[in-house]
Structure 1
Amino acid sequence: MKRYLLVSAGGTGFLSLIIGLLPVQATPNFQEKDDTLRLNSPETETDKSRLTKETSQSNSRIITSGTQAGFIVSPGSQQQNSPASDSKQVKDLGLTVAPSSSLPISKYSNLFQKSDIMAQVTSVSQLSDVQPTDWAFQSLQSLVERYGCIAGYPNGTYRGNRAMTRYEFAAGLNACLDRVNELVATATADLVRKEDLATLQKLQEEFAAELATLRGRVDAVEARAAELEANQFSMTTKLNGEAIIAGIGATGGSSDSDDSNIILTNRVRLNLNTSFTGKDLLITGLQAHNFLGGVDGSGSLQESLGLSSDILSASSARVGFEPQFPGVDPKDLSSVGANDVELYKLLYVFPVADKLTLFAGTAAEVSDAFAANTPFYGEGQEAISRFANLNPVIRVSGGTSGSGLASAAGFIFNISKQVDLRALYGSVNANISSSAADIQPGVSGTPLGSGVFGGSSVVAAQLNFRPSSSLDIGLNYANSYHEINILGTGLTSSDIGALAGVSLGTPVKLNSVGATVTWRLSPKVALSGYGAALFVNDSSGRVDASTTFTSWMAGLHFNDLFKPGNNAGILFGQPLYRTSADGDASLTDEGVDRAVPYHLEAYYRFKVNDNISITPGAFILFNPEGDSRNDTTTVGVLRTTFTF
């Protein structure tokens, strides 16, 4: 606690109380052994008005005074007047103090003498120098007439502009507090009488039985309420949904293609969330969209640009909310019409221990269980391209097909608050008992195989670290087997025919590793990026071929940019690109001018309200699909997202 009194003119009532208190009648025992105050020269009579004005403007100076002279007392304050003035004024009090000297407070208590004894007044009108027009008149009137704790001088004056000593303040404050205590004691003396207490005691004894019964009923109600709160659960299915409507336009592409038309696309998802115990969750998801493609990719934006694979329309020119296999069911290559309703999610999640959660479903994706670890993820809200949303290792083997391609089962193990481990096994054609006949050499009518363990499958794991509240790290690994020569990411035209120069019907084995890091530089700015390497090897034994793909991305994400709820992102990176090829595999397909591809993207999400957002954005592809013959391609998107 500070040992100096700060006096300010901020409150009129309190100031009025302290500026005219009685001088000390009995000197209090007021000592501070270790504290000191610096006594600077007093203000002259002509400076008193200036002193009062300065006091009302600043609390940084401590002002007190003796009965004959005032001292500006401020620890460490600078000397105000000349040494001669200091010596003269203090000498009048019987003590010579050197300018700017320091004295223990107990050493100068004899400076303050009882020179003018004030007499108690009963009405403010008795004070000749107090007028109704004075700014503190009402406060002074209340202290004099209501509380009777403010006095005047024998000559009938109040001297309201005179400074006071600390002793005068203590004496006046004590007088007012004594008066308040008297009023409180008087008002409450007969508040509760003995007769009243006796009556209450008698009533309590007469109704003791009724009170006991009432107490028991209240206890029973409280117990039942507590039980209901602890076990309240209703087996209710909740519906939520998302509708995306977007205009997409693009320029560039291959040198022998024309610019595509501007297209209008939609994707609608309805999710039914059901719990049976209050801790588990059954997710049933339905969706419909109007993206086109089919087996040969016809009708898709990337096909019109000349940038897609010959089958299944894999390309780097894709938007993030487009399913990986539009217009076709990759399990049996059957066609899917525009806006046909399909089951894209059927997944059950349930805890089995405090730190262990299991999940299983027949329509699932890796991204359902694995953390994104990047703020750019959000097909309807954040980045607009497929490249920017997730690490490619999560997308391997159709891990984010957008159509619930795999049957999967796995777990989430929370090792600690900062670390968790996730893993799953997924089978693409688990519901197909046997493969269809070949439609190409080594490629059957069910190109992804058949059975839970006989067809294309993936074993994937993710280890997440959160060493601090501003840092997220995710490490990914996936081991995959494919019946045909594909990656299953949908991120590049090289996705189909991953081993270049090797037939499509060649089975392959993939080992994929990646890491995603997000560092929140501030609550509104995050630096995020990923790196990935996919190692592809022949699994048939008929050829000796291997290839390595790499990809990376880095970008800045902004929260609440210009307005709360509005997000933005700018990012740059390299899409999947063959960096090596051994054995029978080639670095490029025939006729391709090899060049490193790059991706530049920017978007801004404008939040209209809690349920509607609009996101304009664009991404530019340099050397699209790793071919320098292709023109630089720009894809522009205006996406509107409705959530409910």
Structure 2
Amino acid sequence: MAIFKRLYWSKTKKIVLSSSVILLSLESNVLAISVTELPLENSINSTSFLEKYNQHGSKKLENITFFTSSNLSDLRNISNLDKNSLAQLTNVHQLRDVNPGDWAYEALRSLVDRYGCIAGFPNQTYRGNQALRRYEFAAGLNSCLNQIERLIASSEAVAVEDIKTVKRLTQEFETELKQLDTRVNNLENRIAALEDNQFSTTTKLYGEVVLALAGVVTGKNLDGDDIPQITTFSDRVRLDLETSFTGHDFLYVELEAGNTPYRFDYFEGALGFESDTENDVYLAWLAYYFPIGERTEVTLQGVYGTFYDYTDTVTVLDGDGGSGALSYFATRNPIYNTTFGAGAGIRHEFNDVLEITGGYLASQETVSNPTPGNGLFNGDFATLAQLLIKPNDDLKFGLTYVHGYNSETFTGSTLVNFRSFTADNFDETASINSDAFGVEFSWAISVRFVLGGWGAYTKINVLDGQFEDGSLDVWNGAIIFAFPDLIKEGSMGGIVIGIEPKVTNSEGINFSDRPNTDRDTSFHLEAFYQLQLTDNIAITPGLIWLTAPDHDNDNDDVVIGVIRTTFSF
């Protein structure tokens, strides 16, 4: 069973399914109307369920009306039907090509005042003194036309002067009104097609397929033998079902299959999309997200949950192997990988600057085992607490603490993911606990350059077994250079320079066949370029260079070449 869990695509990926939604927002003296493309799910780097909820949740919906196919007849009352524009219409004074002094401007204002063509302002009046674009003006005129038609149809009195005014306005804006009608018809057709072909009224299906060519360009393994320079072709397939019962909650069911075997006898250089299930399909993730209030989300995880499913990992390269960094190490700070299993998490935003996250996970290997030393609370587990600080939209910091317990030192919660300190060097009955402290940051210096990185310290204590009361000090860190929209919009270049987990000190531990600490330092150097060919296809060539693998200068450097192709749908 592969241990490389997914990151929710919302952090990283561009979602390709979308629905046309028309928003009518009434805030203070502003009438905001636009047609835009809203994603059917959540957003990369890192857009989380909470962010999605805050964008489209109940807090924002207090003053918003959604127009869908059930009331498309009302679309003619909307002021701005340019689906490719996010510009907002406040009132007729904001049309660029029709100025407040123009007769048409004053005529439409008079009609609106008398017939309430566009409701929402006190006393049905307009305020401001800005000009309006002709399309926006035509949309307001169209709304008044509909209102007057309804009054005439119901035998209500309409002034002859107003009918003459409407006729004159209609003649002058004939072209814009025709184009407006065409846009409405196109929108109706698109919504109808979407409804006819939708997967489900409550469930959406997302998919990701990773196909990769990889091979070692040069290097030896830890036994000093040449690593066969054989190019391999591997895959990882994920199908996600996202279901919402209330419109604000989300149930995720993920199926995965893959065939990406490990290449070395040490952890360094592992690829982020490795999933060696021999292409057998298994349930790879089961989680339920729901809000409590306006700034709090709760996550319940049933199968192969991880901390990074609901915690901001503070890096733009976190695409969980399908996008962003190529290697497992370069994807995120290793302390987020402490364990995977079942549990719960909570995330709360105090304000736009401070956010706190807490979580508990019981190891998947023990959580469903009803024997002593196992289960949800008696077996292996890990807890997380993180404070996220966001001074502005371009800068954020994370302060992370993780505590874990493991009955066998081989598992990932030790944070010692290399050969020196695995179960081969301990009694099978040995148990440990670990305390990890991490600092992460990401700074978007410009729209095309992001500087980031992390550092982490882990204290591991041996509780019993061969080295009872012994301890290890482990460090790791990385610096990240990311280049969004490099060469082509949607693409990204990345460079990562780091040190994978390294034991710098040990007490009470004395191995007979090797040093008790890592005597040298291995550097992880990674460079890649993710070329976004289309919204659904990306190709990412890259190189991973490991100096002194296993933190041992006696080991030859290893260079790994990778070409990853990702299909998303």
Does TM, scored on the shorter chain, surpass 0.5? yes
Structure 2 gap ranges (5+) = 1-102, 104-150, 158-199
The 1:563/1:583 distance shift into structure 2, 3 A limit, reads same
- What letter matches 1:211 in structure 2? E
Specify the alignment match of 1:320 in structure 2: 272
Q: CA offset at residue 586 of structure 1?
A: 5.6
The reply on whether 1:301 has 2:263 as its aligned counterpart is yes
Specify the alignment match of 1:421 in structure 2: 356
The reply on whether 1:434 has 2:390 as its aligned counterpart is no
Deviations 1:166-217 (A, max 9, x none): xxxxxxxxxxxxxxxxxx9xxxxxxxxxxxxxxxxxxxxx9998439xxxxx
The 1:584/1:643 distance shift into structure 2, 3 A limit, reads same
Specify the alignment match of 2:310 in structure 1: 369
User: Retained in 2: the 8 A contact 1:525–1:558?
Assistant: yes
The reply on whether 1:380 has 2:322 as its aligned counterpart is yes
Q: CA offset at residue 357 of structure 1?
A: 1.2
* Equivalent residue for 1:409, pick from 344, 348, 353: 344
Q: CA offset at residue 487 of structure 1?
A: 5.6
> For residues 9-24 of structure 1, what are the structure 2 equivalents within 5 Å?
none
Mapped to 2, the partners of 1:470 and 1:351 lie a distance apart of: 26
User: Retained in 2: the 8 A contact 1:492–1:625?
Assistant: no
Specify the alignment match of 1:622 in structure 2: 547
- What letter matches 1:377 in structure 2? D
User: Retained in 1: the 8 A contact 2:360–2:383?
Assistant: yes
Q: CA offset at residue 617 of structure 1?
A: 0.2
User: Retained in 2: the 8 A contact 1:235–1:274?
Assistant: no
Mapped to 1, the partners of 2:566 and 2:153 lie a distance apart of: 66
> For residues 169-568 of structure 1, what are the structure 2 equivalents within 5 Å?
210-211=155-156, 235-250=201-216, 251-254=218-221, 256-260=224-228, 261-292=230-261, 300-302=262-264, 307-308=265-266, 315-323=267-275, 326=276, 337-363=277-303, 364-378=305-319, 379-396=321-338, 398=339, 405-428=340-363, 429-434=366-371, 450-486=374-410, 488=412, 493-494=417-418, 497=421, 502-540=426-464, 543-568=468-493
- What letter matches 2:455 in structure 1? G
Q: CA offset at residue 530 of structure 1?
A: 0.4
Deviations 1:454-481 (A, max 9, x none): 1100111111111012111111111100
Mapped to 1, the partners of 2:292 and 2:419 lie a distance apart of: 38
The 1:496/1:484 distance shift into structure 2, 3 A limit, reads farther
Q: CA offset at residue 501 of structure 1?
A: 5.6
Q: CA offset at residue 493 of structure 1?
A: 4.9
Secondary structure of the residue that 2:335 maps to in structure 1?
helix
User: Retained in 2: the 8 A contact 1:485–1:503?
Assistant: no
Structure ID, larger Rg: 1
User: Retained in 2: the 8 A contact 1:475–1:516?
Assistant: yes
Specify the alignment match of 2:138 in structure 1: none
The reply on whether 1:639 has 2:564 as its aligned counterpart is yes
- What letter matches 2:296 in structure 1? L
- What letter matches 1:281 in structure 2? F
Secondary structure of the residue that 1:625 maps to in structure 2?
helix
Secondary structure of the residue that 2:412 maps to in structure 1?
coil
- Structure with the bigger percentage of strand: 2
Q: CA offset at residue 350 of structure 1?
A: 0.5
Secondary structure of the residue that 2:337 maps to in structure 1?
helix
Deviations 1:479-513 (A, max 9, x none): 10001124616986536736996434310010001
Mapped to 2, the partners of 1:553 and 1:342 lie a distance apart of: 33
Q: CA offset at residue 573 of structure 1?
A: 1.1
* Equivalent residue for 2:498, pick from 573, 593, 601: 573
Deviations 1:333-354 (A, max 9, x none): xxxx500001011100011211
TM-score, structure 1 normalization: 0.54
The 1:609/1:595 distance shift into structure 2, 3 A limit, reads same
User: Retained in 2: the 8 A contact 1:424–1:460?
Assistant: yes
User: Retained in 1: the 8 A contact 2:348–2:356?
Assistant: yes
Deviations 1:71-92 (A, max 9, x none): xxxxxxxxxxxxxxxxxxxxxx
TM-score, structure 2 normalization: 0.61
Specify the alignment match of 2:519 in structure 1: 594
User: Retained in 1: the 8 A contact 2:382–2:413?
Assistant: no
Specify the alignment match of 2:62 in structure 1: none
Specify the alignment match of 1:132 in structure 2: none
- What letter matches 2:368 in structure 1? N
Q: CA offset at residue 555 of structure 1?
A: 2.2
User: Retained in 2: the 8 A contact 1:386–1:491?
Assistant: no
Mapped to 1, the partners of 2:391 and 2:513 lie a distance apart of: 41
Mapped to 2, the partners of 1:412 and 1:501 lie a distance apart of: 38
- What letter matches 1:360 in structure 2? L
Deviations 1:433-456 (A, max 9, x none): 126xxxxxxxxxxxxx52011110
Q: CA offset at residue 515 of structure 1?
A: 1.0
The 1:256/1:498 distance shift into structure 2, 3 A limit, reads closer
Secondary structure of the residue that 1:452 maps to in structure 2?
helix
The 1:534/1:585 distance shift into structure 2, 3 A limit, reads farther
- What letter matches 2:156 in structure 1? L
> For residues 116-127 of structure 1, what are the structure 2 equivalents within 5 Å?
none
Report the aligned-residue RMSD.
2.9
- What letter matches 2:323 in structure 1? Q
Mapped to 2, the partners of 1:382 and 1:235 lie a distance apart of: 32
The 1:574/1:488 distance shift into structure 2, 3 A limit, reads same
Mapped to 1, the partners of 2:496 and 2:439 lie a distance apart of: 17
Secondary structure of the residue that 2:309 maps to in structure 1?
helix
Mapped to 1, the partners of 2:536 and 2:530 lie a distance apart of: 13
Secondary structure of the residue that 2:242 maps to in structure 1?
strand
Aligned length: 373
Mapped to 2, the partners of 1:611 and 1:393 lie a distance apart of: 31
The 1:362/1:208 distance shift into structure 2, 3 A limit, reads closer
Secondary structure of the residue that 1:347 maps to in structure 2?
strand
More displaced 10-residue stretch of structure 1: 616-625 or 483-492: 483-492
- What letter matches 1:485 in structure 2? T
- What letter matches 1:267 in structure 2? R
Q: CA offset at residue 584 of structure 1?
A: 2.9
Mapped to 2, the partners of 1:581 and 1:431 lie a distance apart of: 34
Secondary structure of the residue that 1:394 maps to in structure 2?
helix
Secondary structure of the residue that 1:407 maps to in structure 2?
strand
- What letter matches 2:371 in structure 1? S
- What letter matches 1:537 in structure 2? N
User: Retained in 2: the 8 A contact 1:498–1:536?
Assistant: no
User: Retained in 2: the 8 A contact 1:408–1:427?
Assistant: yes
Mapped to 2, the partners of 1:573 and 1:535 lie a distance apart of: 20
Secondary structure of the residue that 1:503 maps to in structure 2?
coil
Q: CA offset at residue 594 of structure 1?
A: 2.5
Deviations 1:554-575 (A, max 9, x none): 0210011112122101121111
Mapped to 1, the partners of 2:225 and 2:462 lie a distance apart of: 34
Q: Percent identity?
A: 31
User: Retained in 1: the 8 A contact 2:315–2:442?
Assistant: yes
Mapped to 1, the partners of 2:487 and 2:201 lie a distance apart of: 42
User: Retained in 2: the 8 A contact 1:499–1:546?
Assistant: no
Mapped to 2, the partners of 1:496 and 1:406 lie a distance apart of: 25
User: Retained in 1: the 8 A contact 2:408–2:430?
Assistant: yes
Specify the alignment match of 2:537 in structure 1: 612
Deviations 1:50-71 (A, max 9, x none): xxxxxxxxxxxxxxxxxxxxxx
The 1:259/1:353 distance shift into structure 2, 3 A limit, reads same
